[in-house]
Structure 1
């Protein structure tokens, strides 16, 4: 199936309709309130299964040999935006990244004492019946795992998304012939897995630290294939940036919606120029950040050598725009925006937490400039 049979706008519409009926904020509020319905996993498993399987979210990212559509990143980032706008707390990013990594360069097959075909072991993730976990800062994560010649991994991976409930881990391991992206089933009988809950300022993130001892794993990239590993890292960073752009859009939507109904001194606050200018500024910033994410997605799909630079700039812009939008959302709501019961602090917490993942904006821009991003102006 080619990308032109399903447009990114159709992906947006489908996900927007899904979240209109099942807002991600509903689940996030349960996390905030300590509801046992989401205890442990950090999300509603049945809702995730519907989104992943029946709505077809993961089929878009999965390779054709897994009965997927193998759509490009322009489609996947559009989906990530909608998840971010709804502050969805489920294993969206880790699952989409894993599905995309399965087709990044073909799974490495090196024989030995390895588990079987990666698509088969990821099948539960692709249908929403298994939970994928990934280190939050995958692109800049220092490998904490070592893989021996027989394909077993040992070591610690910190701040894994949905770590307490993850069935499959996507991480980077140091192998005898170089680093590799690896798929690690966490529920097998061989080896041992120790889990420890990890806290986060972001109430939408349920994290865990995992300690693995001789757990069988399968390389998703050939050990030492730095290019493929870097490409997977770029996709991880870009999906996070897309979620941030969606979060900023969510802040804008909530701010504009409130400005249309909140009256003060006998008039709607939306008629005040201070409110109008703040919302207009948010809208312009969101469009700019979305354009950078789109440019980076197209560059990765086209295997353009400038893709990495565009990803760095996109993540920097998305982090900055989301942070500013979350602050503006609180200001537009006034006193109520500072309360625990209001949703504004949930957006603010995610904005602050994700801004530091895979590099803060100033560091990413500095790296991009040092790597020659100014040449993009001449392209």
Structure 2
């Protein structure tokens, strides 16, 4: 069964999931609740998280059924992220699914996967991944600031990792640490002596980031020692797609509220939406959002089938979604006029989210480089396949 619109052909299950998440958002993620959580730097309450993870099954959507998940494609999780992006709800869904579950699924460690993923998928625990330095960027060639040393059959962690999503509240903290074999992934579970979590002041108060400091903290290795780089790269590809879906949702909210305001606000005896300048702004926003949405769901489908196009598709989606959210959040403020600049109006919250998410999981420059490298590689392979044999070449 499919539901067809002028632009997309959606499986009916995707449309149903969108409706379910939208209903949850309207009931549990209103502006007042979001503002309270953001302004008090308070984690999402456990009851609301249990509704998201257990009743709606959002945390385990892409997790295989044998590990307690739904075994669905990434398109389903993208739909959920898009709908939730309209509300800016400070939930642990992105960090738990994209970073924690993503790392455990990509690390090639069956024991860690079977032990931790079912609890994450059920919402019994939340998780995250720390992988960046003080500048907030991932560089596989750079030595991690956390060092892991052997301690009998286990490991001990010392050092600091920065800009960790939900790092102050996550039950499971996965971290990239340096070893003699090279950068490796380690898991620190539960409240641990020696683990100091310091919330970081960021532009976007609706998304918690922290700086965990490790002081002789016990941890377990995850996956092959020295293999953190390819694991993190694969995780960031998936995270970029899910974040792009969230950005599309935020941009759509900005467009919807701008259009609604333009239809009711009058100036010189007419609704301001009847003026060409406002119409053009709204149309430009719409075109960018639709382009980004198409790129997001193509990238999500690439992830589902493990396509070779997944990495460049993810970078295209993240680049387009970042640009669409930037424009929509800024233009929405302009269309709302004086009220849009006030603290009481939510427009600035979306503008802050747009600016902060632009750099998260790779800024546009990094994603441009990924796409360029992919195009150059295809060109090189195409040239090689069409070149005549040496004996036939004209000297």
Give the structure-1-normalised TM-score: 0.85
What is the match of residue 245 of structure 2? 242
Give the alignment's Cα RMSD to 1 decimal.
2.8
Answering whether residue 301 of structure 2 is matched by residue 303 of structure 1, we say: no
Aligned with 1:26 (options 19, 29, 32): 32
Q: Residues 103 and 197 (structure 1 numbering): CA distance in 2 closer, same or farther, change over 3 Å? A: closer
Query: Cα distance 1:162–1:354, how it changes in 2: closer, same or farther (>3 A)?
Result: same
Any idea what SS the aligned residue of 1:341 has? coil
| Counterpart-to-counterpart distance in 2, 1:239 and 1:136 | 18
Aligned equivalents of 1:240, 1:247: Cα separation in 2: 11
Distance of 1:311 and 1:241 partners within structure 2: 8
1:114 — aligned with what?
Answer: none
CA distance in 1, matches of 2:240, 2:254: 21
- Per-residue deviation, 1:105: 5.5
Report the Cα distance in structure 1 between the residues aligned to 2:24 and 2:367, rounded to whole angstroms. 34
Between structure 1 and structure 2, the one with the greater Rg is: 2
Deviation of the 1:128 alpha carbon: 3.1
Cα deviation, 1:20-52, whole Å, max 9, x if unaligned, reads: 2222533321145x3xxxx45333332122111
Contact 1:248 1:322 in 2 (8 A): yes
Aligned to 2:364: 361
Q: Which residue of 2 aligns with 1:51?
A: 52
**Distance in 2 between residues matched to 1:273 and 1:373, nearest whole Å:** 42
8 Å Cα contact 1:242/1:318 also seen in 2: yes
The whole-number CA distance in structure 1 between the counterparts of 2:56 and 2:293 is: 24
1:63 deviation in Å?
3.0
SS at match of 1:59: coil
Q: Deviations over 1:240-263 (max 9, x none)?
A: 222112111111121122223222
Aligned to 2:209: 207
Which residue is 1:113 aligned to? none
Aligned to 1:132: 127
1:367 offset after TM fit, Å?
4.0
Q: Residue 147 and residue 160 in structure 1: after superposition, are their counterparts in 2 closer, same or farther (change >3 A)?
A: same
Which digits, 9 at most, give the CA deviation of each residue in 1:265-307, with x for residues without a partner?
3322222222222111111111111111222222222222222
Aligned to 1:163: 167
Note the C-alpha offset of 1:171. 3.0
Alpha-carbon separation, structure 1, partners of 2:12 and 2:129: 28
* Unaligned segments of structure 1, at least 5 residues: 110-116
CA distance in 2, matches of 1:151, 1:70: 33
- CA distance in structure 1 between the aligned counterparts of 2:56 and 2:339, rounded to whole angstroms: 35
In structure 1, what is the Cα distance between the partners aligned to 2:11 and 2:286? Answer: 30
Q: Could you say which residue in structure 1 is the equivalent of 2:349?
A: 346
CA contact (8 A) 1:135 1:157 kept: yes
The alignment partner of 2:213 has SS state of strand
2:283 aligned with 1:288: no
Report what 1:112 is aligned to. Answer: none
